[in-house]
Amino acid sequence: MSTPIPFAHAGRALAAAALVALSAPAFAQSNVTVFGVLDVGVQQLTNGSKRLNLMSIDGLQTSRLGFRGTEDLGDGMSASFHLEGALSPDTGGSSLDFRRRSTVGLAKKGMGELRIGRDYTPTFWSISRFNAFGTNGVGAASNLLYGFDGLSSTASSVVRASNSVGYHLPDTLGGVYGQAMYAFGEGAPGKYAGARIGYANKDLDVAAAYSTTENNAAGDDFKVTNLGGSYKFGDARVMVLLHRSEQTTRKQDGWSLGGTYSLGLTTLRASVTRAHYTNSVGSVDYSGNQIAFGAVHALSKRTSLYATISRVANSSGAKYVIPGGNTVSAGQGSRGTEAGIYHTF
Amino acid sequence: MSTPIPFAHAGRALAAAALVALSAPAFAQSNVTVFGVLDVGVQQLTNGSKRLNLMSIDGLQTSRLGFRGTEDLGDGMSASFHLEGALSPDTGGSSLDFRRRSTVGLAKKGMGELRIGRDYTPTFWSISRFNAFGTNGVGAASNLLYGFDGLSSTASSVVRASNSVGYHLPDTLGGVYGQAMYAFGEGAPGKYAGARIGYANKDLDVAAAYSTTENNAAGDDFKVTNLGGSYKFGDARVMVLLHRSEQTTRKQDGWSLGGTYSLGLTTLRASVTRAHYTNSVGSVDYSGNQIAFGAVHALSKRTSLYATISRVANSSGAKYVIPGGNTVSAGQGSRGTEAGIYHTF
Amino acid sequence: MSTPIPFAHAGRALAAAALVALSAPAFAQSNVTVFGVLDVGVQQLTNGSKRLNLMSIDGLQTSRLGFRGTEDLGDGMSASFHLEGALSPDTGGSSLDFRRRSTVGLAKKGMGELRIGRDYTPTFWSISRFNAFGTNGVGAASNLLYGFDGLSSTASSVVRASNSVGYHLPDTLGGVYGQAMYAFGEGAPGKYAGARIGYANKDLDVAAAYSTTENNAAGDDFKVTNLGGSYKFGDARVMVLLHRSEQTTRKQDGWSLGGTYSLGLTTLRASVTRAHYTNSVGSVDYSGNQIAFGAVHALSKRTSLYATISRVANSSGAKYVIPGGNTVSAGQGSRGTEAGIYHTF
């Protein structure tokens, strides 16, 4: 009677088979992996004519703390869980939640995995995978591709979706991979449906994804389409990405081209990204470019130092910007330089 | 000087005996068990004429993450801690706290345990233990027994109490078990006193509990009384529970009858619950019934699938409801169906 | 494609050397130590004529939960992380963050450690190290030395600083130890610079520290200076501390004298603390004294019981007070008694 799990008193209170299902996790330690990332650095951001020196975080990977585990159920089946929340190592805040990912999964060998909870959307992955800077740091392709002027912020599904059921193809399809996700709206905006399909071998990786998110009114669905790929030539990997976001009268087309080059423990990174935003109401027509260079130096498998420089240029009406600094006026540019340490555990 | 624990620098700064008491937890890993539950599913709730499809959580057990450990102090004595907070795997939020339980305990074999902090109240346990659905899911007895119209919500002690000191009888009393709890009000409403006493053997389990919680004014104490039991017949266990809540002019009497039936890995569950609420001011007289059926299928000791259906019917003025959906008008009913996966670690 | 770490899919998407830097923490369990403290007790506070009985926390050490680890990088180098947040075991709240400490470190044997993130300020340590009650409980020297009337609360750096870069001397300097810290203001008040230098051998420990924190306006920097030491005579350790806080027209000088005496498993503690606050505007001149006695009894290396009594007396205009109870009027005193249990893991 000392455990707070209802039914656990059930050594006496429930039939034995129920106990199997409901027993308390008394011998559970080995089932859990505690993992995380801390990524902290210093950054200088110059937005328009305003310069700011900052302690920065997440320049290479997003800082996080998580708990996960997998249980073998026999017959090729397994159950798993994954809880992961963001950290802000510069300030120690804010409070820990598990909004990066919070899922329970049920998988069968050769059949794939069913995953329930809050998870990354299929359309998210290509920005992360087919750009050398992904969605982190001053050179992130997402600086431009996430859009602005509310194009993506009105939908909650650009990166993740709550209340979702996802299906992931098994890894036994000769290189074909894919996933589909449906997320409940629960009577409020946010209902999401999306899918991603790809093919990868030792050198090549290509994928396409599409999603639609229900917003407030009929016909205002937020839609994302992307297509990307990477190819390995010796020590180099070249990456290309096409990305489109649409909602009612607003549309943004973007692309990025870049890659990585390995020099042993040091990896060089480079990326050019362009976005072109239009709004047929008022004939708004904006575009922005970003060019970024960087290097990652591995001190070990778990710890790296990195440095990145990036520059965003805008057309006369556009306000694309490296996030975290001052706001820019239309047409102003943004420059960022950062150096940091990445440590995973 | 690298640890943030004041006194830890004390290798030089404090006498050796103090060190024994205050040393930093440098070799502490093996002292901690990380444990938890993720329980997610899909649910359809029909309250009155409004239907809602939802991703649901906690249909079998409340999702949670916790940390706990026990230290052997010698001479049959032990110290322990337990930190446990709720999770919302459907959204990954809200922030993690340890409001499910947060205690330090000191126990001695044959003497029982003293436990300090935030803990479950003695009066809580019978709803959980003597009903087949306990306090979780569409069929939970608590849907009715927690009361409504502010009867229980004005007191913070229906499930747990902060600032509490609890005593638990040892498990060496030939089947008699029990606990008592006092919680400080700290100058605000919330002072709680309650106790529970029971007897359990291989087949039988019975317990009675009583508590009183000081509220805002003299004489408005919130009082809970319950009496319950279960008995095992072969593969079946029958459960009965009587539950009363009172505060000033308001009173609710409730009961539930139900049980579980084991079919190997599958356990069937059924419960009928009735609550009758009166308020002598205005001669309010409401009643509600709930009937619920369900099944739990164990995939392993740690993972189960479950499904439950439940129906609440109200007398003309009552508003008992399966929580999580739309509000009901007086006299309207509530129906819920859910299926989910439960995984513990 | 099942891990949420961008780049992790990179078995195919990135060159091998980048993988070394960016690989997912799949085998990470052994890298993490989960640690913590729970410290709960009961307390009676009498401020002026108002008495309050409370469940208290943190009477010996601040309750906390943390995660930390160290990675050997070879060549005498190591990387480490430390995440630590406060707990409130009396209520289980509030939400967990890591504002006690949140750092990544890079160290080299004989060279010292560079530490980035949120950390304790150099000026904090002496209050904790050179007083028998440190900053915890009814007898804490910080009750007086942290100041009042906004002297310390306007600066965020009395105990910790966010956005900081710290350097710690190596432990190979024949007993000399020290640290320096710079914290970014990031365009807002809070820029901190401070350092601490000390010397310790088997019996003696002395240290001096100084810091300045930029506040809102030019010339209103908050400055802290302290000097302290302890000396071991047989079973006793005597401690002395001088502490000054200044901001514009306000200044507080304080000192404490005290020590510990070991009786095997029990350690006695005593401390006298005095603070004298002046504000040249309005010729304010306040002073307060605190005297505290206590005992700590070790049940094991990880678990102790403790009791402390403390009394604060104020000059006619002063309002120094043991925190946690009612406010006092100018000149009123404060008395506190507490007993609790401390458990670390």
Give per-residue pLDDT as tens, B123-161.
Answer: 999 999 999 999 999 999 999 998 766 665 455 688 999
Q: Which residues of B155-171 are buried (b: 16+ CB within 10 A; e: fewer)?
A: bbbbbbbbbbbbebbee
Q: Where are the domains of chain B?
A: 44-344
Rounded Cα distance between C321 and A285, Å, is: 63
Whether the Cβ atoms of residue B127 and residue B145 lie closer than 8 Å to each other: yes
B304 pLDDT higher than 90: yes
pLDDT for res C3: 35
- The one-letter amino acid code at B245 reads S
Q: Which residues of B touch C298 (CB under 8 A)?
A: 17, 20-21
Where residue B149 falls (left for φ over 0; alpha for ψ -120 to 50; beta otherwise) is left
Of A24-33, A107-116, A267-276, C171-180, least confident by mean pLDDT is A24-33
Residue B99 contacts residue B87 (beta carbons within 8 Å): no
- Using the Cβ of C267 and the Cβ atoms of chain B, whether some distance falls under 8 Å is answered with yes
Residue A61 tokens read as 């990977």
Sign of CA dihedral A52, A53, A54, A60: positive
User: What would the DSSP string read from start to end of A254-294?
Assistant: EEEEEEEEEETTEEEEEEEEEEEEEETGGGEEEEEEEEEEE
Does the structure show a pLDDT above 60 at C6?
no
| Selected residue with higher pLDDT from A297 and A94 | A297
Chain B residues 213-242 within an 8 A CB cutoff of chain A: 230, 232, 235-237, 239
Run of H or E including A129: helix A125-129
Q: Write the DSSP assignment of C130-144 as a string of letters.
A: SSSSTTSSTT-THHH
CA gap B35, B70 in Å, rounded: 14
Neighbours of chain C (3+ CB pairs under 8 A): A, B
CA atoms within 13 A on the CB side of A193: 2
State the pLDDT confidence band at C27, using cuts at 50, 70 and 90.
very low
Q: Which amino acid, one-letter code, is at A217?
A: A
Q: What is the pLDDT of residue B19?
A: 33
Interface check for A101 against chain B (CB to CB < 8 A): the answer is: yes
DSSP 8-state secondary structure symbol assigned to residue C1: -
C-alpha closest to that of C92 among B345, B25, B123, B96: B96
Contact yes or no for B102 and C89 at CB 8 A: yes
> Which residues, other chains included, contact A126 with Cβ-Cβ below 8 Å and sequence gap of 6+?
A196, A207, A209, A226, A227, A228, A241, A243
Contact C90 B117 (CB under 8 A): yes
Task: Tell me what the mean pLDDT of segment A116-129 comes to.
Answer: 95
| pLDDT for the residue B215 | 77
Q: In this complex, is the C-beta atom of B30 within 8 Å of any C-beta atom belonging to chain C? A: no
- Top CATH class of B44-344 equals mainly beta
Cβ–Cβ under 8 Å, residues B28 and B309: no
Q: Percent of chain C having pLDDT more than 70?
A: 88
| Predicted confidence (pLDDT) at residue A37 exceeds the cutoff of 80 | yes
- pLDDT bin (cut points 50, 70, 90) of residue C20 is very low
**Rounded mean pLDDT of A309-333?**
93
Nearest to A187 among B52, B92, B205 (CB): B52
Higher pLDDT residue, C149 or B85? Answer: B85
List, as ranges, residues 56-95 from B with C-beta within 8 Å of C.
67, 69, 71, 73-74, 77, 79-81, 83, 85, 94-95
Q: Which amino acid is at C237?
A: R
Q: Are strands B303-314 and B334-344 parallel, antiparallel or unpaired?
A: antiparallel
DSSP β-bridge partners for residue A52: A45
- The minimal CB distance from A96 to the residues B95, B260, B266 is found for B95
pLDDT digits (tens, 9 = 90+) for C272-308: 999 999 998 888 889 999 999 999 999 999 999 999 9
pLDDT of residue B290: 98
Window 160-179 of A: residues touching B by CB (8 A cutoff) are 160, 162-165
pLDDT level of residue A284 (50, 70, 90 thresholds): confident
Flag whether pLDDT at A51 surpasses 70: yes
Q: Are B273 and B140 in contact (CB under 8 A)?
A: no
Q: Considering CB atoms only, which of C177, C179, C301 is closest to B23? A: C301
The pLDDT score that the predictor gives to residue B297 is 98
- Pick from C52, C261, C343: which is nearest to B104 by CB? C343
Q: Which of B100, C32, C9 is nearest to A66 (CA)?
A: C32
Across the A:C interface, residue pairs with CB atoms under 8 Å apart total 215
Which residues of chain B does A5 touch, with a Cβ-Cβ cutoff of 8 Å?
37, 61
Percent of chain B whose predicted confidence (pLDDT) is above 90: 76
The pLDDT value given to residue A219: 76
Q: Do B102 and C92 touch (CB under 8 A)?
A: yes
DSSP classification of residue A22: H
Determine the residue of chain C that is closest to B33 in CA distance: C34
Task: Write out pLDDT tens, residues B243-278.
Answer: 999 988 889 999 999 999 999 999 999 999 999 999
Is B89 close to A77, i.e. CB distance below 8 A? no
- In whole angstroms, what is the distance from residue B169 CA to residue B177 CA? 6
**Across the interface, do A301 and C23 touch by the CB < 8 Å criterion?**
yes
> Which pLDDT score, from 0 to 100, does residue B7 have?
37
A23 touches chain B (CB under 8 A): yes
Q: What is the dihedral of CA B6, B7, B8, B11, to 10 degrees?
A: 160
- Cβ distance C302 to B25 less than 8 Å, yes or no, reads yes
So what's the pLDDT on residue A264? 95
In order, the DSSP letters of C90-142 are: TT--S-----SEEEEEEEETTTEEEEEEEEE-GGGHHHHHSSSSTTSSTT-TH
Q: Residue C10 has what pLDDT?
A: 32
Cα separation values, A105 from A79, A82, A85, A172, Å: 6, 8, 18, 18
Closest listed residue to residue B128, CA positions, set B271, B335, B275, B304:
B271
Identify from C60, C80, C87, C91 which residue to disrupt to test chain B contact, counting B C-beta atoms within 10 A and taking the largest count.
C91
| Exposed/middle/buried for residue C202 (C-beta within 10 Å: 0-12, 13-18, 19+) | exposed
Residues 6+ positions from B108 with CB-CB distance below 8 Å: B75, B76, B77, B78, B170
Distance between CA atoms of A232 and A216, rounded to whole angstroms? 43
pLDDT of C12 reads 31
Q: Is the pLDDT of residue B30 over 80?
A: no
C-alpha dihedral, A275 to A279 to A280 to A281, nearest 10°:
-170
* pLDDT band (50, 70, 90) for residue C148: low
Question: Within an 8 Å CB–CB cutoff, is residue B103 touching chain C?
Answer: yes
Percent of chain A with pLDDT over 70: 88
Please tell me the predicted confidence (pLDDT) of residue B17: 31
Cβ-based contacts of A324 with chain C (< 8 Å): none
pLDDT at residue C25, as a whole number: 35
Strands C334-344 and C101-108: unpaired
pLDDT tier for residue A9 given thresholds of 50, 70 and 90: very low
Rounded CA-CA distance C299/C291 in Å is: 27
For residue C129, the distance in angstroms to the closest alpha carbon of chain A comes to 24
Largest CA distance in chain B: 74
The strand ranges marked E within A63-213 are: 64-74, 77-86, 101-108, 112-120, 160-168, 176-183, 192-200, 204-213
SS3 A101: strand
pLDDT of A238 strictly over 70: yes
Neighbours of B204 (CB within 10 A): 13
Supply the pLDDT for residue B151. Answer: 65
Q: Hey, what are A208's tokens?
A: 């396409």
In the 3-class helix/strand/coil scheme, how is chain B assigned residue by residue?
CCCCCCCHHHHCCCCHHHHHHHCCCCCCHHHCEEEEEEEEEEEEEEECCEEEEEEEECCCCCCEEEEEEEEEEECCEEEEEEEEEECCCCCCCCCCCCCCEEEEEEEECCCEEEEEEEEECHHHHHHHHCCCCCCCCCCCCHHHHCCCCCCCCCCCCCCEEEEEEEEECCCCCCCEEEEEEEECCCCCCCCEEEEEEEEECCCEEEEEEEEEECCCCCCCCEEEEEEEEEEEECCEEEEEEEEEEEECCEEEEEEEEEEEEEECCEEEEEEEEEEEEEECHHHEEEEEEEEEEEEEEECCCCEEEEEEEEEEEECCCCCCCCCCCCCCCCCCCEEEEEEEEEEEC
C-alpha to C-alpha distances, C193 to B4, C106, C159, C161, C167, nearest whole angstrom: 19, 20, 13, 10, 12
For the cut 90, the answer to whether the pLDDT of residue C92 exceeds it is yes
Set of chain C residues whose Cβ sits within 8 Å of the Cβ of A301 = 20-21, 23
Please tell me the distance from the alpha carbon of residue C85 to that of residue C99, in angstroms, as a whole number.
6
Spell out the residues 6+ positions from residue B27 whose beta carbon is closer than 8 angstroms to its own. none
* pLDDT at position C145: 92
C34, C100, C101, C163: which to substitute to probe chain A, counting the most A Cβ within 10 Å? C163
How many Å from the N-terminal Cα to the C-terminal Cα in chain C? Answer: 36
Chains adjacent to B (≥3 CB pairs closer than 8 angstroms): A, C
C263–B17 CB contact, under 8 Å: yes
User: In whole angstroms, what is the distance from residue C135 CA to residue C128 CA?
Assistant: 6
Provide the pLDDT confidence category of residue C149 given band limits of 50, 70 and 90.
Answer: low
pLDDT at C189 (0 to 100)? 75
Residue A241 has pLDDT above 90, yes or no: yes
Which one is predicted more confidently, A2 or C248?
C248
CB B287, CB B274: distance < 8 Å: yes
What's the CA gap between B254 and B243, in Å, rounded? 5
Question: What pLDDT shows up at residue C114?
Answer: 97
d(CA C29, CA A66): 11
Closest CA to A108 of A33, A177, A180, A169: A169
- In B, minimum Cα distance to C113 occurs at B2
Predicted ipTM?
A: 0.89
Mean pLDDT value across residues C162-172: 96
pLDDT band at A232, cuts 50/70/90? very high
* B-chain residue closest to A70, CA distance: B345
pLDDT at A135: 95
Task: Output the average pLDDT for chain A.
Answer: 88
pLDDT (mean) for C229-252: 95
Chains A and B: how many Cβ contacts under 8 Å? 211
Judge contact between C36 and B67, C-beta under 8 A: yes
Structural contact between residues C165 and C114, judged by C-beta atoms closer than 8 angstroms:
yes
Q: What is the pLDDT averaged over residues A59-80?
A: 97
C-alpha dihedral sign at C162, C166, C171, C176 = negative
Q: Does B104 touch chain A (CB under 8 A)?
A: no
Percent of residues, chain C, with pLDDT higher than 90: 77
Nearest-CB residue to B118 (from C32, C90, C237):
C90
CA atoms of C224 and C239, how far apart (whole Å): 19
What angle (nearest 5°) sits at the alpha carbon of residue B342, between those of residues B272 and B142?
30
Establish if C120 touches chain B: CB-CB under 8 angstroms: yes
Q: How far is CA B133 from CA A77, A150, B31, B60, B306, in A?
A: 28, 45, 33, 8, 11
DSSP annotation of A9 reads G
Q: If DSSP codes are grouped into helix, strand and coil, which group holds residue C205?
A: strand
Question: pLDDT of A65-74, one tens digit each?
Answer: 999 999 999 9
